[in-house]
Amino acid sequence: MVLLQLDPFLNELTSMFEKSKEKGSVWVTLKRSSLKSKVQKRKLSSAGESIEYRCLIRATDAKKSISTSVGAKDHQRFQASYATILKAHMTTLKKRERKDRKKSTEAEKKEGTSTTKKKL
């Protein structure tokens, strides 16, 4: 697995979103990781050293996969850039159909009063 630097990762992510604008999906996963094997973690914990965890971010569009690792120092800058990219490419989402609550409650009330009159 090849880890990209932050800026090339964000550029590739932007191009993935552009390619999938008409048809397709982009999956982004975030995971806490120390990027060390279990043996190395055990050695560090037995020696009393703290393990520095990072955020492993992977993105794929079923044809291409990219990944990067973000430390605590760069997290704020990365999060701001990532949020900007997501906001810019959320325009292709379909609007959710919402039912008008007032109309549905009024219809239920009318049905409720009409059924009680029929029973009496």
Cα(31)–Cα(88) distance, integer angstroms: 23
Residue 53, pLDDT > 90, answer no
In this predicted model, what pLDDT tens digit does every residue of 74-111 receive, in sequence order? Answer: 999 999 999 999 999 888 677 778 777 766 677 677 77
In sequence order, what are the residues at sequence separation of 6 or more whose Cβ sits closer than 8 angstroms to the Cβ of residue 106? Answer: none
Q: Give the global pTM.
A: 0.67
